[in-house]
Copies of this chain bind each other. A is one copy, B any other.
Amino acid sequence: MNESTRLDVVGRPARRKDAGEKVRGKAGYTTDISLPGMLHAKVLRSAIAHARLAGIDASAARELPGVHAVLTRDEIGDDIAPTYGYFIKDQPIVALDKVRYEGDTVAAVAAETEAIADAALRLIEVEYEELPPVASIEDALSDGAAELFEEAPMGIVPAYGAGASAELRPRSNVCYRFNYETGSPDVFETCDHVFEDTFHFSRMQHFHLEPFAAVAQWLDGDRIQVSTSCQNPFALRKELGRVFKLPENNISVRVPFVGGGFGSKNNCKAEPIAILLARMTGRPVRFALTHDENFLTNTQHAAILKLKTGVMKDGTLVARDSEIFLDSGAYSDASPLVAEKAGYRIPGPYRYRHIRTSCYCVMTNTAPAGPFRGFGGTQTSWACESQMDMIAGRLGIDPLEFRMKNLIDLGEPFVPGESGMDSDLREGLELVAREIGYRERKRNPLPNRGVGLALGFKDGGGVNKPAQARVKVSTFGDIFLHCGTVEIGQGAHSALAAVVAEILGAPAGRVRYMPINTDHTPFDQGTNASSAISVMGQAVERAARSLRAQVLDFAADRLGAEPQDLDLEDWHIRKGNEALPLAPMIMGYFGGTGWEFTADGFHKAETDHAAPLETQCVFWELGWGAADIEVDPDTGLITVHKLVVSGDAGQAINPLVCRGQDEGAAVMGLGQALFEEMVYDGTRLMNGDALAYRVPMAQDLPQEFVSITQEQGHGPGPFGAKGMGEGGMLPVAPAIANALFDATGVRVAALPLSPPRVKAALEKNS
């Protein structure tokens, strides 16, 4: 390999490493685990949204044959911390004093079979004292609203840098508020126009095909072994250590293949109950939720976004004040972090002289909301990109030109102290505009047809994320890649293995991605924030380069040569025209048992107190989108004739995987744009099952669906790569809403753009 001139593995479309196993049904998921003596768990869920728990009688359930344990608040002793949460420890393993949403966990049973456990649940008698329910953001903030928490649960506020701050429980039913300010609000007075608009954002469920699941067992009474469908095993281990009051070296978190996560599978989900029941029974316990229970466990944040934007008549953006209200549901989960991200991103990738933003996490008696693909960026892109078109329209400027005028340049920081933009935003926007035929259609509009553009935007790679990776190679050149990035379907294993193969001059097939177990897998904060390539990729790259150097140094020493005169090629040392096999060299030096070369790589974004989030963002994740739609004026039905999405992979490690990520994200965005939504009647979820909750299917795809993987080459990852997988989600809904406006002159500021909502808007406008 001569890496300066040629890439042999990276950049080539290749079959995914997990394809064979998955196609043959051999890929092991958590629910495939079967252990001798394993019991099955089920939980009793509250049918009431908000109530004080007056009493529980589980005696009949305990006596049912085949039942091994019933867990209620009465079984929670001082030996554990009974609540968990990312920042605010407000979610109980089972309800303690109250239930806070329909579906809240009241009790759990471990039994010989799931059927017995289900039967036992029906024998548990619960006495509730009902309280007034809080159904929505508006309800929660209204005067005299019932309080979900009478006392603020313990929580922490992260350190923030210049201009950013946060408060815990700034007011009743608000668990967290994030604030950011730069420049001076005085500049609003200098603006030619100030536009204030409000946007509503709907709530989706992640709809991962593999539900939440965990299999737990205790070893020798003081060690936990848990296999789980989880995106962040190390964070989970730390939280389990806190809950179960155990050192981290007594907790082994293992993660098999994960059947989709989209953000939901972070932190405690099925694990605490499985672990506690395993301790109570002395048996392994499997707790696998049903699909319907997923809807009751974690969701996206519905939101209200209020934007006040000051602009000059020539279209120059000047100032933006924003207020965002996130519906956090009944427990805080990752809401504070989503609030931070939404609050930070709401200006979009445009140049302002002043920004002020507040983002509130509002508690309601609905299912808890947590991380979701886009992580606050879906909400903000929806509002920001809708308002961009609205302002352009009001100023009589073309929306494309309006964006082009205000977009920040390549290398320009988003806000003071922040890292420079690492994509040419205009290049991407021009690309999708041209692909959709934007200018031609603006010149020659078609009846009931419209085109719209949007630009999704988020800081990617996570905050402050450290990652470590390890590569080892045995005597005959068999490569082991150890890192904590979970394969959740995104193809990260293939991409990271390709990086290693490229650097070590090996075919990708020589690299095996090793199973994840916190006991020995190098530390990683979690598989989220599109960090696999951008953060872990850097750690993997360094590990592989360090290993390569180690091998070349070893060979140079053996051969009496200089390392720079040698190259590594398919586990041979290339020296001039010779290709010398490494295995005999290794056994000659290390003995017949051979050896393993091992190297670690580390990456962490440096702390920077001048940056608002105290760390400059790892990379900027963009999603450019364009839609060409037709509206049926009689029904309000939108037909998407063509959808264009484009992300910037920096350098595609595996183009097929990149494209898959952008397209998958775009289809998820399409669902949210047009029909996918968790529908509540008050506090009751009306469509919490797969049939009623409608995800996009093949027939929902646009007639023409184009995805373009840009490779602008500015990413921080290996070979210039950037993270993928969330950007494609972001521009779809605003692009379609903008196209709807283009087609009809009607602005719909709430999602989804369903026929009734569109029809009502058309009627109101007519």
Q: How far is the CB of A231 from chain B (nearest CB, A)?
A: 12
Interface presence of A138 (CB below 8 A): no
Inter-chain contact B520/A249, CB cutoff 8 Å: no
- Is A680 in the interface zone, CB < 8 Å from B? no
Contact yes or no, A234 B87, CB < 8 A: no
With A24-B220, A220-B26: A591-B464 Cβ-Cβ less than 8 Å: yes
Task: Tell whether A60 is near chain B: CB-to-CB under 8 Å.
Answer: no
Is A482 on the interface with B (CB-CB < 8 A)? Answer: yes
Instruction: Give the chain B neighbours of A238 by CB distance below 8 A.
Output: 474-475, 593-594
Contact B592 A250 (CB under 8 A): no
Contact, CB under 8 Å: B478 / A510: no
Which residues from B are CB-within-8-Å of A522? Answer: 596, 598
Number of copies: 2
Binds B, one of A106-114, A361-369, A511-519: A511-519
The answer to whether A480 and B590 touch across the interface, beta carbons within 8 angstroms, is no
Contacts of A519 in B (CB 8 A): 480, 514-515
Contact between B26 and A219, CB atoms less than 8 A apart: yes
Q: How large is the interface on A (under 10, 10 to 19, 20 to 34, 35 or more residues)?
A: 35 or more
Determine which of B158, B468, B476, B592 lies in contact with A158 in the assembled complex, contact meaning CB atoms within 8 Å.
Answer: B592
Question: Taking the complex as formed, is A604 at the interface, i.e. its CB lies under 8 A from any CB of chain B?
Answer: yes
Contacts A26-B219, A479-B249: A235 and B87 contacting too (C-beta < 8 A)?
Answer: no
A526 touches B593 (CB 8 A): yes
Is A466 part of the binding interface, using a Cβ–Cβ cutoff of 8 Å? yes
Q: Which residues of B contact A592 (CB under 8 A)?
A: 86-87, 156, 158, 235
- The answer on a CB contact under 8 Å between B463 and A591 is yes
> In whole angstroms, what is the CA distance A221 to B20 when docked?
11
Per-position 1/0 for A596-630, Cβ under 8 A of B: 10101000100100000000000000000000000
Assess A598 versus B468: contact at CB under 8 Å? Given A26-B219, A482-B520, A593-B235. Answer: yes
A416 within 8 A of B: no
What's the Cα separation between A248 and B476 when bound, in Å? 8
Residues in chain B near residue A515, CB distance under 8 A: 519
Mark A554-597 against chain B: 1 for CB-CB distance below 8 A, else 0: 00000000000000000000000000000000001111111110
Taking a contact as CB atoms under 8 Å apart, the answer to whether A466 and B26 are in contact is no
Q: Which residue of B lies closest to A600 (CB)?
A: B598
Task: Verify B593–A232 contact, CB threshold 8 A.
Answer: yes
A525 contacts the other chain (CB 8 A): yes
Q: Chain B residues near A36: list those with CB within 8 A.
A: 34-36
User: Are A474 and B220 also in contact (CB < 8 A) when A159-B588, A235-B593, A592-B158 are?
Assistant: no
Name the one of B249, B478, B588 contacting A248, with C-beta atoms under 8 angstroms: B478
Q: Mark A475-501, 1 if CB is under 8 A from B, else 0.
A: 110111010000000000000000000
A633 at the interface (CB under 8 A from B): no
Q: How far is the CA of A617 from the CA of B464 in the complex (A)?
A: 48
Q: Does A664 contact B (CB under 8 A)?
A: no
Q: A34 — nearest CB in chain B belongs to which residue?
A: B36
- Against B, the Cβ 8 Å flags (1 = close, 0 = not) of A64-92 are 00000000000000000000001100000
Closest 9 CB pairs of A and B: A464-B591, A247-B478, A249-B512, A26-B220, A249-B478, A523-B596, A520-B520, A248-B474, A235-B593
| A-B pairs with beta carbons under 8 Å apart, 27 shown | A20-B220, A24-B220, A26-B220, A28-B219, A35-B36, A86-B592, A158-B592, A234-B596, A235-B593, A238-B474, A238-B593, A241-B476, A247-B510, A248-B474, A249-B478, A249-B479, A249-B480, A250-B478, A250-B512, A463-B591, A464-B591, A480-B519, A514-B520, A520-B520, A520-B521, A525-B591, A589-B607
12 additional A-B residue pairs with CB within 8 Å, beyond A34-B36, A480-B519: A20-B220, A26-B219, A234-B594, A248-B478, A249-B474, A249-B478, A249-B512, A249-B514, A522-B596, A522-B598, A589-B607, A600-B600
